[in-house]
A and B are shown apart, each in its own frame.
Chain A
Amino acid sequence: MRPPGWLRLPSVLLVTAALTVWVVPGSAAAYLTPPPAVPLLPPCHPSASSLRPTGPPRVTPGSFMEQIRDRGRLIAGVSEYTYPFGFFNPLQRKPEGFDIDIVHAIAKAIFGNPNKVEFKAISDLQRLPEVQSGGVDIVAHTMTILCQRLYYVDFSSVYFNAGAQVLVPKNSLAKGLADLGGQKVCATAGSDSIAHINAARSHPIPFPVMNFTDCLMLLQQRDVAAISTDNNILDGLAAQDPWTKVVGSPFTSEPYGLAISQQHPGFVRFVNAVLQQMRTDGQWADDYRDWVGHSVPAPPRARYKD
């Protein structure tokens, strides 16, 4: 059913506006505008920006991990809408996905029980503020390690490598952003995908929304011409709508990391130790097979700034 135009566009704007108010609690709405320009970025290698683990994961006395253990649960900021990385499964009534399983592995390393986690559904926009404010212990939310983000938070070692592509309806002739000049291309507010759309030479119109499922809904209602973001997210959207296709080849490199407050370097090392364990004992490959695809590549090699 195609709603009449006058009803549709306002409601789309309302989605954007209302979700801003709804999903982003109070003060976080302020983060709709990008953080102020970073005055002087320290030398940065996104893929090699994390801290080296000090052996296998161990909860040392007085550490942040011990505080978490005393609290009784790990608080993780995740996505509810990014299939298959972090999504709320309406049938199981719980969050699931590749990112979620990594959080479970960290909980298991702290508590010996993978389920001692409180998942806090956050939007892309809330990722940095939630980590900075201590609202969550860790963010596992398809988050690309970027130099401007490293200015505000720490990241774990790379646990997944993605690259931006474009999703269009099956009957679209577009092969990439180059063919989408002057047309609306959707991505989430607060993602670097919006910046990529903005920077495209063909000048597509960036259309920011709250979650990527909102993008798919708008694409189904033909309110946007395409969605552009990391290919793994696009694959997840295409899995929910077989009448869409991912076109072109990856035009960016997006190394994913888990975001942790800069106040807890010990926790960063601890998480890196867990990731290292997952890479070597086959857990990472299992996780990949469960959520991403059957042909499992080698896990991203961990590089540290020490």
Chain B
Amino acid sequence: MSSPGAPSCDNYSPRSLSGYELDHYAGRIRAVVIQLAGEEWGGQDARVMPSTAGRAGTAVTAVSDVPRHALPAVRRSVRATTTPAKLRLLLIGLVSLCLVWGAVAAWVVSQRASGANDVASTSETLSLDGQQIYRALSDADATAASAFLSGGLEPINGPPSYQADIAQAAVHLERATAAAGHSPAAADLATLSAGLPVYTGEVQTARADNRLGLPLGAAYLREASVLVRGKLLPAARNISAEANVRLAAASGRATGLPLALVLLVAAVIVGFALYSAQRWLGRRTHRRLNRGLVVASVAGLVSLLWLGIALGMARADLLQARTHGSTPVAALAQADIAAQQARADESLTLIDAQGNDSFQADFVTVQHRLGPGPGTLLTDAVTAARGSPAAGPAAAAASTATDWYGAHRTVRSLDNNGRHKQAILLVTRPGPRHSFTLFTRLDRLLASAIDADQAVFNRHAVAGSNAFIGLEVGVIVLALIMAAGCARGLTTRLAEYR
């Protein structure tokens, strides 16, 4: 341990340092403790070393260059003059620094973890569930309308049936309600919870009346449709929109760089403080290593590595969840919702048979919004899905949409030329180039694309938030170990002066 020629610890006298030097170091340590900022100690050490070595073994009464009585009283009380006093100051400083480090690291971790958790369990769930509720209810509306067209009975090879839609809406509503807590989405979820049974009640009454051949069924169907379009769909849209805003905030909190920077600065300060303390202690005591400080350093290094790996992995996962998960899913869901709306319009042009073209006008508007084409929902979704598992189905959906528009034009020209029944056939029965078949294909492609990317999102979001498991507690425990190590290492040295 000791360098050749240097005195052993046992006969080493603390009085071998000049009062000036002791004063100097105590002031230095205090400055470090207070400012949490390191200065270059090495040069000082190099300058001090020879004098320390030169006086080895001699007991000299410390003589201060600065007369002690000349110092202001306050300064005198803070400024340590003896090595034990300096060690005591160093002890307090390092222990405080370790604890502060632990607190800062735990705070940063908790911020990130809660952000990641928000992404995975609250905001994204709400956003996706809101979209899925919209999708399911809109499809239920369209299915119910086309069921009415086909005489109160649903086509045998129909799209996801009305019942499946309602079950899906209920499942997502339940999940969203569980995730929402006291978020602003609660009011919209309450609207949906109260409205869904009313809607299904009205549709069931409509179906019962239709089965009896009563025109009353159509009145219930219209009332149900007005309830869905006027109240439930806007509520579902609000939930998604509101959750998307929160998702962006949570994602920023979980992946943003400023917090990581705070952590990095804190780590540099602690690392430097530990390094310098050991170096000073090594020179002062002629021992290379102090066991306590080494333990503290190792614990600090472990916590830094753990933090770096966990935060890095979580960030990568959450970014992946966003680029290949929530972003394409949101774009695809938008496209799907527009497709559902156009489908409902197509059915309603035939139900109403009013000779008015308001539904057809709406269909054309939605068609322009849906695309494919530059700046349209489908093209945006295909772009967003690039590189994700949804890329294939999304591209297929875009080309199917074009085919569907062609089939729709056939339906309209049949209906406009008095061939209402053939038009209804194309919309309600499967067959090659039938509007029914093509829309069903479009809808299934979009749904499978959404499912694929939602799986990507779930996998990465869960992985991203799992990266934080145990980290907060671990960082705190490691910080306590660091503090204990510093305390142990310096008290051992201090004990040598008694």
* Residue A290 lies at the interface, judged by CB distance under 8 Å to chain B: no
Name which of B36-44, B353-361, B374-382, B456-464 contacts chain A. Answer: B353-361
A91 touches B152 (CB 8 A): yes
**Complex interface bits, A77-93 against B, C-beta within 8 A gives 1, otherwise 0:** 00011110001111101
Q: Which residues of chain B have C-beta atoms less than 8 A from A21's C-beta?
A: 358
* Residue B242 lies at the interface, judged by CB distance under 8 Å to chain A: no
Taking the closest CB of chain B, its distance from the CB of A138, in whole angstroms, is 14
Q: Which residues of chain A have C-beta atoms less than 8 A from B357's C-beta?
A: 25
Q: CA A19 – CA B212 in complex, angstroms?
A: 24
B215 touches A1 (CB 8 A): no
Q: CA A121 – CA B353 in complex, angstroms?
A: 6
- CB contacts under 8 Å to A, within B338-370, are 352-358
B198 touches A14 (CB 8 A): no
**Complex interface bits, B194-234 against A, C-beta within 8 A gives 1, otherwise 0:** 11011001000000011011111111101100110111000
Name which of A145-153, A166-174, A211-219, A277-285 contacts chain B. Answer: A211-219
B355 touches A135 (CB 8 A): yes
Q: Write the chain B residue with the least CB distance to A23.
A: B354
With A10-B231, A90-B151 as given contacts, are A83 and B214 in contact (CB-CB < 8 Å)? yes
* Residue B162 lies at the interface, judged by CB distance under 8 Å to chain A: no
> What number of residue pairs across chains A and B have CB atoms under 8 A from each other?
112
Q: Which residues of chain B have C-beta atoms less than 8 A from A4's C-beta?
A: 194, 198
* Residue B80 lies at the interface, judged by CB distance under 8 Å to chain A: no
A19 touches B418 (CB 8 A): no
* Residue A120 lies at the interface, judged by CB distance under 8 Å to chain B: yes
* Residue B446 lies at the interface, judged by CB distance under 8 Å to chain A: no
Contact of A14 among B150, B218, B226, B352 (CB under 8 A): B226
A217 touches B220 (CB 8 A): yes
Q: Which residues of chain B have C-beta atoms less than 8 A from A89's C-beta?
A: 213, 215
Q: Which residues of chain B have C-beta atoms less than 8 A from A72's C-beta?
A: 418
Q: Interface size bucket, A side?
A: 35 or more
Q: CA A93 – CA B480 in complex, angstroms?
A: 79
Q: CA A91 – CA B201 in complex, angstroms?
A: 21
Q: Which residues of chain A have C-beta atoms less than 8 A from B198's C-beta?
A: 1, 3-4, 7-8, 11
Q: Write the chain A residue with the least CB distance to B348.
A: A22
Q: Which residues of chain A have C-beta atoms less than 8 A from B215's C-beta?
A: 80-83, 87-90, 213, 240
Contact of B231 among A7, A80, A122, A237 (CB under 8 A): A7
Q: Which residues of chain B have C-beta atoms less than 8 A from A26's C-beta?
A: 356, 358
A3 touches B201 (CB 8 A): yes
A121 touches B354 (CB 8 A): yes
With A90-B152, A213-B218, A217-B223 as given contacts, are A22 and B418 in contact (CB-CB < 8 Å)? no
With A3-B201, A91-B213 as given contacts, are A11 and B151 in contact (CB-CB < 8 Å)? no
Q: Which residues of chain A have C-beta atoms less than 8 A from B212's C-beta?
A: 240
* Residue A160 lies at the interface, judged by CB distance under 8 Å to chain B: no
Q: Which residues of chain A have C-beta atoms less than 8 A from B229's C-beta?
A: 18
Q: Write the chain A residue with the least CB distance to B220.
A: A217
Taking the closest CB of chain B, its distance from the CB of A92, in whole angstroms, is 8
* Residue A267 lies at the interface, judged by CB distance under 8 Å to chain B: no
* Residue A179 lies at the interface, judged by CB distance under 8 Å to chain B: no
Q: Write the chain B residue with the least CB distance to A71.
A: B418
Q: Which residues of chain A have C-beta atoms less than 8 A from B411's C-beta?
A: none
Q: CA A203 – CA B219 in complex, angstroms?
A: 27
**Complex interface bits, A21-36 against B, C-beta within 8 A gives 1, otherwise 0:** 1110110000000000
A25 touches B356 (CB 8 A): yes
Q: CA A10 – CA B227 in complex, angstroms?
A: 9
Taking the closest CB of chain B, its distance from the CB of A76, in whole angstroms, is 11
Contact of B213 among A7, A90, A237, A241 (CB under 8 A): A90
Contact of A15 among B197, B226, B356, B418 (CB under 8 A): B226
With A90-B152, A214-B219, A240-B215 as given contacts, are A73 and B418 in contact (CB-CB < 8 Å)? yes
Which 10 A-B pairs give the minimum distances between C-beta atoms?
A25-B356, A213-B219, A1-B201, A3-B198, A87-B215, A240-B214, A90-B210, A91-B213, A217-B219, A18-B226
Q: List 6 A-B contacts (CB under 8 A).
A: A3-B194, A11-B198, A11-B227, A15-B222, A25-B356, A90-B210
Other A-B pairs beyond A11-B227, A80-B218, 16, CB < 8 Å: A3-B194, A7-B194, A14-B230, A25-B354, A25-B358, A26-B356, A80-B353, A83-B215, A90-B214, A90-B217, A90-B218, A91-B213, A121-B352, A135-B355, A213-B215, A217-B216
